[in-house]
Amino acid sequence: MDKKRLVSMLTLVGACAGLSACATTGDFDALKSRVDTLESNASTAQSDAAAARATANDAVNIANQAMDKANEANARSIDTETKIDRMFKRAMHK
């Protein structure tokens, strides 16, 4: 009886191992297709990120130019205010 039980256990273990360990070519092809799709999506995401980074850099450059112009306009305004103030004081002394 022990020998019969051992043979049936080995048969059962062999059948389980044989059925669960094999992958078909179709399974492999499907997995390869999924991997290719994921790689393509990752590549697209990288190029989108690079484009977004370039757009953000352009926006920063435009903002810096606007800040420079605003500072220049502010300096001119202060200079003009100073000149007007001096002219007003001269007119008041006469």
pLDDT tens, position by position, 19-68: 555 567 887 888 889 999 999 999 999 999 999 999 999 999 999 999 99
Interior/surface letters 27-57, b for 16+ CB within 10 angstroms, e for the rest: eeeeeeeeeeeeeeeeeeeeeeeeeeeeeee
80: helix, coil or strand?
helix
Range of the domain at 69: 61-94
Query: How many domains does the chain contain in total?
Result: 1
Residue 74 lies in a domain: yes
Read off the pTM.
0.54
Residue 1 lies in a domain: no
Residue 6 lies in a domain: no
The first and second tokens of residue 71, run together, are 């500072």
The tens digit of pLDDT for each residue in 1-19 reads: 576 666 666 676 666 555 5
Q: How far is CA 70 from CA 19, 42, 63, 75, 81, in A?
A: 75, 42, 10, 9, 16
